[in-house]
Amino acid sequence: MNTSKTEIDAATRREYWVPLLELSVQEVFDLMLGDRLEATPEPAPVNTLDVTSMVGLAGSICGLLTLRCSSKSAALMATKMLGADGAGAKAQMEDAVGEVCNMVAGNFKNKISGVGDTCKLSVPTVIRGSDYSLSTLANDFTMEINLLFHGNPVVIALQLN
């Protein structure tokens, strides 16, 4: 197989994107929720992740960013974002998780040199339930980060074409 230099450069560059993605997530939680996530080596049991938020990227980076978590985590995110009493947090959890995913995607693309202007984000989509399969054409490269939010799993994945 003859792998071109451009392909090797692109693959190497994408290796560096994992810590950038993790930093992007941590900054969003730190600044907008006033909280932190812990890294975990353990992949979360899929049936515990019943809230999925997705934001598409199109342009110089083409792919899909997903944030998966439990309803409990999603409600906690909404509570943190809405402030002290978190009134109405449960009703707002889809909105909150969608916005977190949107900010992570935006923060991530702004950290990659030369991409910010040439990559567009979709508005977020949120799925409730864990019994589904997701197919995307953006499946050349996937990075996944397993995290814990107050002991509850949060999985961030970026699939790229």
> Minimum distance between the CB of residue 152 and another protein, rounded to whole angstroms?
19
Is 76 a residue that touches another protein (CB under 8 A)?
Answer: no
Is 106 a residue that touches another protein (CB under 8 A)?
Answer: yes
Is 59 a residue that touches another protein (CB under 8 A)?
Answer: no
Is 35 a residue that touches another protein (CB under 8 A)?
Answer: no
Contacts with another protein by CB under 8 A: the residue count is 26
Give the interface segment with another protein, choosing from 45-53, 63-71, 116-124, 137-145 (CB under 8 A). 116-124
Task: Confirm if 131 and 26 have CB atoms less than 8 A apart.
Answer: no
Burial annotation 63-82 (CB, 10 A radius, 16+ → b, else e):
bbbbbbbbbbbbbbbbbbbe
Look-up of token digits 């809230």: 51
Q: Which two tokens stand for residue 18?
A: 């994992």
Look-up of token digits 């560096």: 16
Q: Which two tokens stand for residue 3?
A: 């792998």
Q: Which two tokens stand for residue 102?
A: 């949107």
Give the interface segment with another protein, choosing from 39-47, 105-113, 131-139, 151-159 (CB under 8 A). 105-113
Task: Confirm if 94 and 74 have CB atoms less than 8 A apart.
Answer: yes
- Binding site residues, another protein, CB under 8 A: 27-28, 30-32, 78, 81-83, 92, 95-96, 98-99, 102-103, 105-107, 109-110, 115-117, 121, 123
